[in-house]
Amino acid sequence: MSESRNMSDREVITISDEDEQDLSSDKSGSSDDDVSAFDDPKPLSALKQRLEKELNKICGPPAVAGSGYFPAFTDPEVYVGSHGPLLLPLSEEDARRIVHSAHQAPFGRGHETIIDSSMRKTWELNNNEFELRGADWQQYTNEMVRSVAKKMHLNPEFPGFHAELYKMLLYEKGAMFKSHQE
């Protein structure tokens, strides 16, 4: 059986002979040319479960949600077409510019994606319809990504872990969903 023990400030996980036997034992009648023990998911799955259990003892299970506070505001310097930077909070004039360039945002109802302004008055720009040109914005975003990664017990340097600009939504006053049942 696997065991975990603390040695000074390091955690050591020991995989026992039993674990190794689970992975390397021959199947009855198998030869070197046959399928290896690694092709049988049962022993490997059991080992993965034990390893995950031991790793969770070290740092706990990853968070799936979290919050944080960044004390300094960094202006993203939003540009929509030739207009910008749009100052925050938005003026009514800048909000109208966004609406003029945007399309009404759809939402999901059951398995459908619909547009219904009686339910939600929201405007949407795709990521190719606006730019964030703030000189410090990328650094600010990188700090947020590192913070999220830390809370989720992930390595922010891992390939593929990043923040990606997806869309900008502009909600009209009172634009949240009206009462309804799905």
What is the per-residue pLDDT for 121? 84
Q: What is the pLDDT of residue 15?
A: 57
Nearest C-alpha neighbor of 167 from the set 129, 127, 116, 112? 127
Residue pair 118/178 in contact (Cβ under 8 Å)? The answer is yes
Interacting residues of 87 by C-beta distance below 8 A, sequence separation 6+: 75, 94
Partnered with residue 108 across adjacent β-strands are: 113
For residue 149, the model assigns a pLDDT of 85
pLDDT tens digits, the chain, 182 residues: what are they? Answer: 444 444 445 555 555 555 555 445 544 444 444 444 445 556 677 888 888 777 777 666 666 676 777 778 889 999 999 999 998 889 999 999 999 999 998 888 788 888 877 777 889 999 999 999 999 999 998 888 888 888 887 888 877 788 889 999 998 887 666 554 44
Q: Could you count the other beta carbons within 10 Å of the beta carbon of residue 43? A: 17
pLDDT for the residue numbered 55: 74
- Domain ranges across the chain: 3-59, 78-171
